[in-house]
Amino acid sequence: MPNTTKYSVETIPGGYPRDRIFNPKSVAVMGVTPTPGTVPYDIFYNILASGYKGVLYPVAPGKRSISAVPAYRYLTDIEDDIDLVVIVFPANVVARALEQCGEKGVKGVIIISAGFREVGPEGEKREEEIKEICAKYDISLVGPNCLGVINTDPKIMLNASFARKMPAEGRIAFLSQSGALCTAVLDYARSRNIGFSKFVSFGNKAGVTEMGLLDYLHQDEQTDVVLLYLEELRDGRALIETARRVTRGDNPKPILAIKSGRTPQGADAASSHTGSLAGEDAICEAVFSEAGIIRTNTIEELFDTAIMLTSQPMPKGDRLAIVTNAGGPGVMATDAAVDVGLTIARFQPETTKKLKASLPAAANMKNPVDVIGDARSDRYEAAVGAVLEDPNVDQALVILTPQSMTDIEQIAHGIVKVRKGTDKPMACSFIGATDVAVGVDILQAAHIPHYIMPEWACGAMADVQRIRRWRELPEEADYQPPQADQKAVAAIINPAPAGYLSEDRALAVLEAYGFPVPAHKLCCDADEAVEFAERNGYPAVLRVVSPQIVHKFDVKGVALDLADADAVRSAYNNMVSHIGEAMPEAEIKGVLVRGMIPGGREVILGAKHDAAFGPTLMFGLGGLFVEIFKDVTFALAPITPAAASRMVRQIKAFKLLEGARGTGQADIAGVEDYLLRLGRLVVDFERIVELDINPLIVGPAGEGSNVADVRIRLSE
Amino acid sequence: MDKSKITERVVKVTCEVLGVTPDMVTPESDFVFDLGAESTQSVQLVAAFDEEFDINMDAEDALEVQTVGDAVEFIEKYVNKK
């Protein structure tokens, strides 16, 4: 049994579910009514009908019995101890019911009722009240506003939900924030013969959260894989911490997730590149990536991967063998496998010899192996057996198209026989629907994962590879965060008003944190600008500094490549005069003078203080078109060197940094170091709500980089 | 009509509609939590009170009433307006 004291409601936000929620010896349902087809009745009836192994009590004021079971007016009228209470009363009396649970010493409660945080301020107040009652009596709470909990363990058989049917027993746990989706998923899973260990709809997460449930399921002997459906991510940092614990280490269990709401929101209001790109979904992606959670786009993909994980051993590598009786699908599968990052295995000569001995001359002995359209069971068995024995093969995909001479049933039996003799994973794709159904049934009964299309099998196999690689990543060593002059930055930021820091101050902030800021000076007249340029060298750059001007190029506030003193003087005067006419309201603090930065590869380093996730970092291909290409990655700050390395390598343009077409490698190590510094800066100074270094011009390896432009926006 | 008379008739109607006995009904009794009213029965109760007292209560407001005592007060206002 899990250690319920280690992750109690007090120590984990939202709480760890007590074991009695899933394994209660006695259950009371409060608010039962005698009317079939209503939630209060169906919850009670489902527990009764699921064959629950404990004792069940209906609490139904004014009723003598419910479905022939004697009813109680109040929970406190029941003499026995109660492990779990399911509350189905309307929201306005739930608090009273919960108080009775506390008085009776009940420690596990599921609130099915809706009418809380999801309905607005009145509901929020109710939800706060039930949280207080749970804290007062140390109650572990699932819900409110949920479908309930199911445990298929034959020793318990609890369907404390209003799902229509008890699912089959299986090794998959499903956690969902949406109750309605749960019922659809159960129905869908039944059509694919998929069973579950636990099924939890956690609704508003007023008590137990996904973090607590993940920790619980990590210890659950009935569960091998956890599927998670989330509508909102309230605490990404806690999810990362929990999921890393679950998905790695001695007892790793994969977590697959769907997070709805991919559409970016609020981007319009953001004025920085990072602000506009770092929508909730992009940050969720980063959270999942850091947590080792595999994200899928659809329920179908979720189960495609889950059945592979629960029925097949973990492959030792990514090399795939394909056996098919049709050339076209074989090629399609090969394309799909390569697209998702699987390697098409190269057979050893011994394997080719075996194939030649058992297949007709017209067959293709190379991968994908084509056993030809008239293949019967003997050919399939010989070919699949031979490729799986090859040390160069880590897994196999068997494809069948139903032709007139294809003995589908026998072939399915043959594959089942071969599967029994190997420790390598396998998947099948009997393409079609009606004709192949008999074979699919045989495969599924033998727990061999089947996919209607070979591409879907490849997708699932690719997810398994991501899980394998995630487990194999070395643990990150402790590291010393980069040195920084916090005092200097505090002296700039603390007295500054909300809004954008002027460019000279923003550059001073970066300098104090060790960023490569080129020599510069804020000059108040043309003579001073010329004087500095003479000292600093040519060609020079002028950049206007004004609190009202954020986009300098738009108002001709930047002059580049100025070759001598005359050019600097003339550019200074023209700039000030033009802006004075075009933007009379702009207060010009001066003009920043610096040298031209040598060319290099342009990247963006950004940060944003997200309301839900806290300080968040962005890295990507920089320049003017960053929002068009959107080639960026995110991470929650602060980051480790390994996370910095991942961020840099995840963008498509990484090849440019590595060196393409004779450009040589860029200073990648430097970029990683600046990401670490940026992470520290935004963690140290919470008032930095948005920060863009765009571009950072990255020089060749070992030659460093230069900050070409920076914007820092402060909160109140 | 005095309050005790209204209370007596409210208790009578409540017992009829919800199938409870008079000893279960007190002014503090919550129609749902203590007397087990289902949502459809709450609507039936409002209609039965209208008929019993020959009044026409605002249904939305009436359905917000939670206890028997509050129902007596609520009905009293309508009865005294007649």
Q: Which residues contact A611 (CB under 8 A, 6 or more apart)?
A: none
Q: H/E element holding A484?
A: none
Q: CB contact, 8 Å: A96 with chain B? A: yes
**What is the pLDDT at residue A541?**
95
Q: H/E element holding A201?
A: strand A196-201
- Contact between A701 and A659 (Cβ < 8 Å): no
The nearest CA of chain A is from the CA of B22 a distance in Å of: 11
Q: Which amino acid is at A416?
A: V
Contact B35 A60 (CB under 8 A): no
**What is the pLDDT at residue A137?**
94
**What is the pLDDT at residue A15?**
65
pLDDT tens per residue across span A698-710: 999 888 899 999 9
Is omega for the bond preceding A449 within 30 degrees of 0, making it cis?
Answer: no
Q: Which of A40, A63, A89 sits opposite B33 (nearest CB)?
A: A89
Whole-angstrom Cα distance, residue A385 to residue A390?
Answer: 9
Contact B33 A73 (CB under 8 A): no
Q: Which of A31, A62, A92 sits opposite B66 (nearest CB)?
A: A92
Q: How many CA atoms lie within 13 A of B31 on its CB side?
A: 31
Interface of B with A in 43-82 (CB under 8 A): 66
Contact A92 B32 (CB under 8 A): yes
Chain A partners of B37 at a C-beta cutoff of 8 Å? 62
Q: Sort A677 into a burial class: Cβ within 10 Å, 0-12 / 13-18 / 19+.
A: buried
A561/A709 same-domain check: no
Chain A partners of B38 at a C-beta cutoff of 8 Å? 33, 35, 38, 40
Q: What's the total number of domains in chain B?
A: 1
- 10-residue mean pLDDT profile of chain A (716 residues): values are 35 63 96 93 95 97 95 96 97 96 96 94 96 94 95 96 90 90 88 92 91 93 94 82 91 92 46 56 84 92 96 97 96 96 97 96 95 94 97 98 94 96 96 94 94 96 96 78 89 94 94 95 94 95 90 88 95 93 90 92 92 88 75 90 91 87 85 95 94 93 90 93
Is residue A575 one of the residues assigned to a domain? yes
Is residue A458 one of the residues assigned to a domain? yes
Is residue A166 one of the residues assigned to a domain? no
Contact A62 B66 (CB under 8 A): no
SS3 A162: coil
**What is the pLDDT at residue A45?**
96
The nearest CA of chain B is from the CA of A272 a distance in Å of: 49
Whole-angstrom Cα distance, residue A647 to residue A641?
Answer: 10
* Long-range pairs for A96-99: beta carbons < 8 A, 24 or more residues apart: A96/B30, A96/B33, A97/A30, A97/A31, A97/B33, A98/A130, A98/A133, A98/A134, A98/A139, A99/A133
The nearest CA of chain B is from the CA of A64 a distance in Å of: 10
Is residue A301 one of the residues assigned to a domain? no
ipTM for the complex shown: 0.92
| Distances from the Cα of A556 to the Cα of A551, A561, A658, angstroms | 9, 14, 35
User: Domain residues for B31?
Assistant: 3-81
Selected residue of B32, B33, B45, B65 to mutate for chain A interface (largest A Cβ count, 10 A): B33
Largest Cα–Cα separation, chain A: 101
Whole-angstrom Cα distance, residue A371 to residue A327?
Answer: 9
**What is the pLDDT at residue A329?**
95
**What is the pLDDT at residue A276?**
55
Contact B32 A38 (CB under 8 A): no
Counting one residue from chain A and one from chain B, the pairs whose CB atoms sit within 8 A come to 37
- Contact between A88 and A66 (Cβ < 8 Å): no
A15/A47 same-domain check: yes
Residue A91 is encoded by which pair of tokens?
A: 């929201």
- Contact between A160 and A86 (Cβ < 8 Å): yes
Whole-angstrom Cα distance, residue A584 to residue A588?
Answer: 10
A378/A495 same-domain check: no
The residue of chain B with its CA nearest to that of A92 is B66
Q: What's the total number of domains in chain A?
A: 4
User: Domain residues for A506?
Assistant: 486-595
Is residue A287 one of the residues assigned to a domain? no
Chain A partners of B33 at a C-beta cutoff of 8 Å? 61, 89, 93, 96-97
Q: H/E element holding A660?
A: none
Q: Which of A595, A624, A643 is the last residue of a domain?
A: A595
Q: CB contact, 8 Å: A445 with chain B? A: no
Is residue A407 one of the residues assigned to a domain? yes
- Contact between A226 and A255 (Cβ < 8 Å): yes
A112/A59 same-domain check: yes
A617/A571 same-domain check: no
A513/A371 same-domain check: no
Whole-angstrom Cα distance, residue A474 to residue A248?
Answer: 10
Q: Which of A436, A471, A506 is the last residue of a domain?
A: A471
Among A331, A359, A360, which Cα is nearest to A344's? Answer: A331
Q: Cβ–Cβ contacts within 10 Å for residue A183, how many?
A: 18
pLDDT tens per residue across span B57-75: 998 999 999 999 999 999 9
Q: Which of A414, A437, A471 is the last residue of a domain?
A: A471
Task: Calculate the average pLDDT of chain B.
Answer: 93
A467/A407 same-domain check: yes
- Contact between A293 and A257 (Cβ < 8 Å): yes
A583/A614 same-domain check: no
CATH of the domain at A547: 3.30.1490.20
CATH of the domain at B43: 1.10.1200.10
A497/A627 same-domain check: no
- Contact between A101 and A139 (Cβ < 8 Å): yes
Q: Which residues contact A73 (CB under 8 A, 6 or more apart)?
A: A59, A60, A61, A62, B24, B34
Is residue A264 one of the residues assigned to a domain? no
Q: CB contact, 8 Å: B32 with chain A? A: yes
Q: Which of A33, A35, A96 sits opposite B33 (nearest CB)?
A: A96
Whole-angstrom Cα distance, residue A156 to residue A205?
Answer: 24
pLDDT tens per residue across span B22-68: 999 999 999 999 999 998 999 999 999 999 999 999 989 999 999 99
> DSSP strand E in A50-193: where?
55-59, 65-66, 69-70, 84-87, 108-111, 140-142, 148-151, 158-161, 169-176
For residues A259-271, one letter each, b for 16 or more C-beta atoms within 10 angstroms of the residue's C-beta and e for the rest, the string is: beeeeeeeeeebe
Whole-angstrom Cα distance, residue A337 to residue A334?
Answer: 5
| Distances from the Cα of A449 to the Cα of A309, A397, A413, A418, A427, angstroms | 9, 10, 14, 14, 5
CATH of the domain at A368: 3.40.50.261
**What is the pLDDT at residue B54?**
93
Whole-angstrom Cα distance, residue A121 to residue A469?
Answer: 45
Is residue A462 one of the residues assigned to a domain? yes
